Amino acid sequence: DAKTTQPNSMESNEEEPVHLPCNHSTISGTDYIHWYRQLPSQGPEYVIHGLTSNVNNRMASLAIAEDRKSSTLILHRATLRDAAVYYCILRDPPGSQGNLIFGKGTKLSVKP
Amino acid sequence: GAVVSQHPSWVICKSGTSVKIECRSLDFQATTMFWYRQFPKQSLMLMATSNEGSKATYEQGVEKDKFLINHASLTLSTLTVTSAHPEDSSFYICSARDARGRFSTGELFFGEGSRLTVL
């Protein structure tokens, strides 16, 4: 799996948008960009994924650079419950049998 | 979304004893489950891939005789930590994928994790 680079930590204020960056300069043409998050003392949970186009779901938005070498996870209004470690992961197309390889992720702190 | 359940959520045991952790997919069938281990303030590290009806595939450096994995059905995989020692204390997490691909995202579903403390 290609490597991703994320900041170790970020801070946000409650109710404000949060932009979590991820660099993946060695991404291949078939790699999908996945985001998972892990709340304290819990297993990770899926957030969003995309290939080339920007994606939106009920949890977040994913903005993918035109050259696909970077992406940004956007939380439109951070809440205290969004405090977690966010992992940006590249992997094979959906339906493949591979596992997820986790990097260090970005620890997001949300201040009231 | 799909649900993966782990049991127990936490366990404390004496050094030298064995501990079994169960991972169940509650509303879907999973031909493949993955077991991860996470030490404090570190990321998840894949230990092994559990395949239903066949032997598990272990990552380099993971002792297969110490971490016994059984995947006897499409909804249950178990991890047994044999002769546990304090250095085995960790957060163990399983994940699974819907074998029938109902979820188009191809996402993996994770259990809540099991925290093992070996005294």
Tell me which chain A residues have a C-beta less than 8 angstroms from the C-beta of B106: 32, 49, 93-96
Collect all residues from B whose CB is shorter than 8 A from any CB in A. Answer: 1, 4, 6, 32, 34, 36, 43-46, 49, 91, 93-95, 97, 101, 104-113, 115
Q: How many CB atoms lie within 10 A of CB A104?
A: 15
pLDDT for res A96: 60
Assigned token pair, A83: 């405090």
Residue A8's pLDDT is: 96
pLDDT (0 to 100) of residue A3: 86
Gap between the Cα atoms of B116 and A92, Å rounded? 32
Secondary structure of chain A in the HEC alphabet?
CCCCECCCEEEEECCCCEEEEEECCCCCCCCEEEEEEECCCCCCEEEEEECCCCEECCCCEEEECCCCCEEEEEECCCCHHHCEEEEEEEECCCCCCCCCCCCCCEEEEEEC
Q: How far apart are CA B23 and CA B34, in angstroms?
A: 10
Task: Kindly report the three-state secondary structure assignment for every residue of B9-57.
Answer: CEEEECCCCCEEEEEEECCCCCCEEEEEEECCCCCCEEEEEEECCCCCE
CA distance B35 to B20: 13
Report whether B116 contacts B88 (CB < 8 A). yes
Contact B107 A99 (CB under 8 A): no
B16 backbone φψ class: left, alpha, beta (φ>0; ψ -120 to 50): left
DSSP summary character for residue A37? E
Q: What is the pLDDT of chain A when averaged over all its residues?
A: 91
A22 contacts A89 by C-beta, under 8 angstroms: no
Q: What is the pLDDT of residue B101?
A: 61
Which of A25-29, A63-67, B107-111 has the largest mean confidence? A63-67
What integer is the mean pLDDT of A50-59? 92
Residue A105 has pLDDT above 90, yes or no: yes
Of B49, B93, B106, the CB nearest to A96: B106
Partners of A46 on chain B (C-beta within 8 Å) are: 1, 105, 107-109
Q: pLDDT tier at A88 (50, 70, 90 boundaries)? A: very high
Pairing state of beta strands A70-75 and A61-64?
A: antiparallel
Does the structure show a pLDDT above 70 at A94? no
Q: What is the pLDDT of residue A1?
A: 52
Residue A102 has a pLDDT of 87
Q: Are B23 and B33 in contact (CB under 8 A)?
A: yes
Q: Residue A13: its pLDDT value, please?
A: 96
Q: Which regions in chain B score pLDDT beneath 70?
A: 1-2, 99-106
**DSSP code at position A52:** S
